[in-house]
Amino acid sequence: MDPAVTSLLILAGAVGLFVWNRLPVGVVAVLVALSLSVTGVLSVEQALAGFGDPVVIFVASLFIVSEGLDATGVTTWAGQAITERAGTDRRRLLVAFMLLAGVLTAVVSPNGSVAALLPMVVVVAIRHRHPPSQMLMPLAFAAHAGSLLALSGSPVNVIVSDALAGTGEGPFAFFEFAILGIPLLAATVLLAIVAGPRLLPSLAPGSGMADLSRHAATLAGHYALQEGFYRLRVRDDSPVIGSVLRELSSVPEPLTVLGVQRADGSAAGPDHVISPSDSVSLTGPAGDVVKFAENHGLAVGARPVRADDLVTKQMGVVEVVVPPRSPLVGERVFPGMVRLGEIVILAVGHMGRDRGTRSTVLSEGDSLLLHGPWAVIDTLVDDRDVLVIDSPERVRRQAVPFGAKAVEAVVILGAMVVLLATGVVAPAVAGLGAAAAMVAFRVVSPQQAYRAVSWQTIVLLGGLIPLSTAISSSGAADRIASVLLGAVGTSPYLLLIVLFVLTATFGQIISNTATVLIVVPIAVAAALETGISPAPVLMLVAVAGSSSFLTPIATPANMMVMAPAGYRFGDYWRFGLPLLIIWLAIALLVIPIVWPFS
């Protein structure tokens, strides 16, 4: 069979499977690559070359850079700073969040910026009595506009820039997309402000979004934390050695002994005989504690943990529950005990009530408030002895703006942007170097880096890049281009309109990345056959590929805001269709001026 016909049949099958939506998009992409090899359209090397393509490597590295910015609280810091200045007015808040989403997207992708800002926007909206449904869709669409502010904003930009380089004209410059991105973002914000209240539904939130920015204060109030407790180590020459714990507990007011922890880490019973290296936990005024320690030969440890110190850049707090069959069941604990070498038990809850300064024999369902270094707290997530209530990672991202390693993350991002903007190295090299630096400087752990990469996107790119190659090399793109040109004639404006409609239509039902990979070779062939420059055509495809406004399934960012806002499937096109038309009008106005047809 003619390779061009085979390529088009595989394309039709891929689109059909995407629309059918019964198979994961990654599986469809792999099937496409395998089909191109099995049918002989491409060699095995060509069919699998997409997984090693520089575009794929660059996109994967951007996910890791995005994770570094988000994990260190850079995005949270930016969001809180803007919120403080925007006040409580809905319009001012909406403008601030949309502009922030656009700017963030330029470096962390639409999905990354929406994921980072979504909890904050929902919380701020509810706190100031604004319907989240009036703010979340504009947030997502502003992120789509922001993807056109820089080369790193979206895989779509990388694809069209690489395609332009393949025509011999050289790639688009790093910030060249912003010539269109800035007016598109401005138009999106303006539409949301002027027509948003009429075009967007006013709904109750569809699902709760936890506000963890005040997590420490919430826990401190729930457990009624004391002013702080002190750990006193029993010295070798202490006069209390040989005393029974019951006797030591009779301390003068206002001091209260919380308990004694043996050197092996276990809690001592009331008949325990005090021995060297035991740790005595007590609470009371600092002056009385110091005097008591001096009189009894005890060494005062670190200063007490108070409610205001629960969450810092280095230290965090977590609430856990004792599950059934946990080895902790039956163990005696008290506030001030140290576990795992660095985790301090701040409070114990039993039957939903704080136990205060009393020691407690743990049972199923009891809760513990733990404090310690973030690195140690993170390990509790996978600890089967306890169940973590709120994700430490989510708490840290919301409650610790510009946390530890934030400076390193910003410096690495700045270096990557400079390299990309100056073109000193290839985009894949700059991105991969930035990702490696994030891990090397411990901004993110290797495990975080692996989790941060959207492997679905990577497999989708790797599987469909060969299809784009096949459509171009087999002559299929030329045939489709001839059909398009037969319909639109020689008018470059009609060609742009048809390509915009084609790309935008496919982009509402299948991945915009997949759509652009399919349309790019057709667009290039049509441009060359018409005798116009590929640059305006490819920039038009980039704009159309980012205009996924009509359905929630068009992009992950659209899906993210659906449940928290309570949107229905049909709510998207009411606001999205006018915005789509505005984007087309701006593209037709700006593109021919900046990127001439000849």
- In this prediction, residues 473-498 reach a mean pLDDT of 81
SS3 568: coil
What pLDDT, on a 0 to 100 scale, did the predictor assign at position 195?
93
Identify the H or E element spanning 319.
Answer: strand 315-321
Question: Which of 205, 184, 11, 188 shows the shortest CA–CA distance to 118?
Answer: 205
Q: Does residue 514 surpass a pLDDT of 90?
A: no
Of the pLDDT bands very low, low, confident and very high (cuts 50, 70, 90), residue 184 is very high
What is the pLDDT averaged over residues 560-567? Answer: 80
Q: In Å, how far are 391, 478, 495 from 453, measured between CA atoms?
A: 20, 35, 36
Q: Which two tokens stand for residue 159?
A: 């694809």
Beta bridge partners of 353: 350
CB atoms within 10 A of CB 361: 12
Greater pLDDT, 593 or 243: 593
Helix residue spans in 357-441 (DSSP H): 374-379, 392-399, 406-422, 427-440
- Highest mean pLDDT, choosing among 167-176, 334-343, 386-395, 458-467: 167-176
Count Cβ neighbours within 10 Å for each residue of 148-182 and write b for 16 or more, e otherwise. Answer: bbbbbbbbbbbbbbbbbeeeeeebbbbebbbbbbb
- 214 confidence band (pLDDT: 50, 70, 90): low
> What pLDDT was estimated at residue 148?
95
Residue 320 is predicted with a pLDDT of 92
Which of 36-40, 313-317, 369-373 is predicted most confidently? Answer: 36-40
What mean pLDDT is predicted for residues 324-333? 90
Write down the mean pLDDT value for the chain: 84
Please give the average per-residue pLDDT across 265-290, as a whole number: 82
**Residue 260 — φ and ψ, nearest 5°?**
-125, 135
Q: pLDDT band at 85, cuts 50/70/90?
A: confident
197-211, 232-246, 394-408, 442-456: which range is least confident on average? 197-211
pTM of the complete model: 0.69
Kindly state the helix (H) or strand (E) to which residue 368 belongs, with its residue range. strand 367-373
What would the mean pLDDT of 449-461 be, rounded to a whole number?
83
50 close to 462: Cβ distance less than 8 angstroms: yes
What is the arithmetic mean of pLDDT over 92-98?
91
Q: Which of 144-153, 277-286, 572-581 has the lowest mean pLDDT?
A: 277-286
Domains of the chain listed by start with CATH number: 3-25+54-208+413-594 (no CATH), 216-399 (3.30.70.1450)
Q: CB–CB of 149/102 below 8 Å?
A: yes
Question: Average of pLDDT values for 113-127?
Answer: 75
In whole angstroms, give the CA distance from residue 474 to residue 521.
11
What is the share, in percent, of the chain residues with pLDDT greater than 70? 91
